[in-house]
């Protein structure tokens, strides 16, 4: 069994595997929720009309429903647009899209909600605990508590 997010699905796709055949997907818990996050494109501020037109064209291409479907089929994720028909996508993408169609099921990722120093301290604490079999649960809790206290 392997726990991961939809970003891992691109590797399964590249290996020629199919959702529902060689691998499956599920949401853990009785009330399905999905952590949302994502990559972003940031454009430099400008008043240059040619640059603004080029930025607008790129936005149109990126958010085009066909582009969204074809890109996400290869990457393994789902479109950022909720109005895109995902019926041509695999069962995992359709399940994720269905869950996320209700905003109450969208949980923002820690990186969106937390300052970078807190996220880094949490990652450090988890990595240290995972890689050090002699670290006690109490020592781990202390590291997490300190990360929370210091982020304040």
DSSP 84-122: S--TTS-HHHHHHHHHHTSGGGEEE-HHHHS-HHHHHHH
In a domain, 70, yes or no: yes
pLDDT at res. 73: 87
- Give 134 or 36, the one with higher predicted confidence: 134
- Residues whose CB is less than 8 angstroms from the CB of residue 112 and which lie 6 or more positions away in sequence, other chains included: 36, 37
Residue 93 lies in a domain: yes
Closest CA to 106 of 94, 96, 115, 114: 96
Residues 93 and 128 in one domain: no
Q: 32: domain range? A: 6-110
| 128 and 82 in a common domain | no
Task: Assess whether 83 and 141 both reside in one domain.
Answer: no
* Residues 78, 135 within the same domain: no
Mean pLDDT of 67-76: 89
Rounded mean pLDDT, 82-86: 95
Q: Do 128 and 61 fall into the same domain?
A: no
Buried b (16+ CB within 10 A) or exposed e, 20-42: eeeeebeeeeeeeebeeeeeeee
Q: Do the domain assignments include residue 1?
A: no
Q: Are residues 102 and 141 in the same domain?
A: no
Mark whether 22 and 34 lie in a shared domain: yes
What's the pLDDT tens digit per position in 131-148? 999 999 999 999 999 888
| 8 C-beta neighbours (distance < 10 Å), count | 13
User: Higher model confidence: residue 150 or residue 135?
Assistant: 135
Q: Is the pLDDT of residue 47 over 70?
A: yes
Number of domains within the chain: 2
Q: pTM for this one?
A: 0.70
102 and 38 housed in the same domain? yes
Asked if residue 59 is part of any domain, the answer here is yes
Query: 3-class DSSP state for residue 10?
Result: helix
Q: Is the pLDDT of residue 127 over 90?
A: yes
- Asked if 140 and 125 touch (Cβ cutoff 8 Å), the reply is yes
Q: Based on the domain organization, do 118 and 95 belong to the same domain?
A: no
Q: Are residues 95 and 135 in the same domain?
A: no
The residues facing 23 across adjacent strands are 19
């Amino acid at each position: 069994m392997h726990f991961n997010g939809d970003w891992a699905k691109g590797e399964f796709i590249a290996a020629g595997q199919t959702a529902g055949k060689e691998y499956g997907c599920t949401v853990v818990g009785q009330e399905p929720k999905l952590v949302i996050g994502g990559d972003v494109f940031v454009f430099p501020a400008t008043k240059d009309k040619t640059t603004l037109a080029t930025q607008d064209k790129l936005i149109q291409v990126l958010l085009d429903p066909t582009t969204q479907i074809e890109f996400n089929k290869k990457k393994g994720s789902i479109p950022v647009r909720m109005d895109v028909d995902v019926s041509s996508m695999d069962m995992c993408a359709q399940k994720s899209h269905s869950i996320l169609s209700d905003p109450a099921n969208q949980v923002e990722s820690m990186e969106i909600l937390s300052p970078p120093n807190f996220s880094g301290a949490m990652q450090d604490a988890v990595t240290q605990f995972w890689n050090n079999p002699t670290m006690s649960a109490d020592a781990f809790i202390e590291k997490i508590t300190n990360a929370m206290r210091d982020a304040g």
